[in-house]
């Protein structure tokens, strides 16, 4: 179970949002950063793959609740001005909440529901992956990460990719990965199904087996911005897959 508590109107909400805004320009500067699935498609469209290359996906288990807070605070303080040095620590350690008549405190990781958590998770993972890659003797051909999901092209065989997984899980005890290797020349990443074909990478839309095609009802009382987000996501997903957009548009309007 993940403790997800809205931080709106909490004592640290506004200052956490302020710190998140100050940190955002410093996130996403690495070559491994993936902004969204559309950006991912752009990054892989010109990549050439060999028959011996493996397409591999890595996923961090429960990243937000496992972010090492002390190390992350050090990273933040190295970025922010000195007069803001103590504020991130207050935001990241004020993780108490009231539920069903009792107070609780989240003892590890960043609080899901805080505007600061997604930013610090990305910031820490950029530090983590640089440390992990630099400290392993074998290097991936491609390493692309969206928050806690990573797409890798590995040119050095199955045995060595298992060694690389073991290495990733050794770097920090809180950051533990699962791994998925391509099956029938395909590998899902975000909502994209990557397809190996003729030495290049194609793609189409990926839906999990549990996906039901059920979305917010237009007549529901959800905020209009949430409904607009659903529509824009579906439209962008169809547009970004030009070879399949006819069937995707039909699926979205059926």
Question: What CA–CA distance (Å, rounded) separates 150 from 129?
Answer: 10
Q: Is residue 68 part of a domain?
A: yes
**Cβ contact 167:136 at 8 Å:** yes
Q: Is residue 112 part of a domain?
A: yes
Nearest to 88 by CA among 103, 78, 102: 78
Classify residue 53 as exposed, middle or buried by CB count within 10 Å of its CB (0-12, 13-18, 19+).
Answer: buried
Give the range of the structural domain holding residue 197, as residue numbers without chain letter.
13-207
pLDDT at position 1 is: 63
Question: What CA–CA distance (Å, rounded) separates 173 from 48?
Answer: 35
Q: Is residue 45 part of a domain?
A: yes
Q: Is residue 174 part of a domain?
A: yes
201 beta partners: 196
Q: Is residue 241 part of a domain?
A: no
pLDDT at position 101 is: 93
Q: Is residue 226 part of a domain?
A: no
pLDDT at position 122 is: 96
How many beta carbons lie within 10 A of that of residue 19, not counting itself? 24
Q: Is residue 233 part of a domain?
A: no
What pTM was computed for the model?
A: 0.86
Question: What CA–CA distance (Å, rounded) separates 166 from 149?
Answer: 17
Q: Is residue 25 part of a domain?
A: yes
pLDDT at position 5 is: 76
pLDDT tens, N- to C-terminus, the chain (254 residues): 666 778 888 889 999 999 999 999 999 989 999 999 889 999 999 999 999 999 999 999 999 999 999 999 999 999 999 888 889 999 999 888 888 899 988 889 998 889 999 999 999 999 999 999 999 999 999 999 999 999 999 999 999 999 999 999 999 999 999 999 999 999 999 989 999 999 999 998 877 777 667 788 888 888 888 888 888 877 776 666 555 555 555 555 55
**Cβ contact 30:124 at 8 Å:** no
- Count: domains in the chain: 1
């Amino acid at each position: 179970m993940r403790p997800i508590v809205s931080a709106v109107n909490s004592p640290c909400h506004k200052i956490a949002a302020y710190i998140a805004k100050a940190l955002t320009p410093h996130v996403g500067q690495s070559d491994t950063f993936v902004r969204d699935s559309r950006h991912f498609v752009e990054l892989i469209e010109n990549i050439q793959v060999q028959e011996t290359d493996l397409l591999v996906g890595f996923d961090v288990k429960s990243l937000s609740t496992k972010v090492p807070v002390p190390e992350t605070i050090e990273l933040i303080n190295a970025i922010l001005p000195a007069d803001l040095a103590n504020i991130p620590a207050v935001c990241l350690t004020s993780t108490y909440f009231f539920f069903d008549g009792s107070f609780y405190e989240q003892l590890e990781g960043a609080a899901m529901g805080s505007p600061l958590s997604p930013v610090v998770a990305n910031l820490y993972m950029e530090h983590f992956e640089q440390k992990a890659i630099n400290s392993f003797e074998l290097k991936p051909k491609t390493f692309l990460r969206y928050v806690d999901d990573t797409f890798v092209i590995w040119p050095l065989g199955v045995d060595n990719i298992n060694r690389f997984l073991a290495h990733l899980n050794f770097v920090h005890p809180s950051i533990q990965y699962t791994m998925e290797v391509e099956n029938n020349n395909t590998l899902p990443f975000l909502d994209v199904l990557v397809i190996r074909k003729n030495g290049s990478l194609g793609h189409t839309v990926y839906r999990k087996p549990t996906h039901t095609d059920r979305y917010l009802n237009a007549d529901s009382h959800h905020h209009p911005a949430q409904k607009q987000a659903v529509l824009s996501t579906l439209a962008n997903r169809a547009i970004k897959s030009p070879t399949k957009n006819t069937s995707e548009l039909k699926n979205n309007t059926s």
